[in-house]
Amino acid sequence: MSSSFEDHFDEYDYYNFDHDKHIYTGHGGKQRSKREAGMHTNQFDPNGHSRKIVTKLMNSEHNKRVIKSK
Three-state secondary structure along the chain? Answer: CCHHHHCCCCHHHHHHHHHHHHHCCCCCCCCCCHHHHHHCCCCCCCCCCHHHHHHHHHHHHHHHHHHHHC
One digit per residue, pLDDT tens: the chain, 70 residues? 456 667 777 877 777 777 766 666 665 556 777 788 778 777 777 777 888 889 999 999 999 998 887 7
How many structural domains does the chain have? 1
Predicted pLDDT of residue 1 = 47
Q: 21 lies in which domain range?
A: 3-69
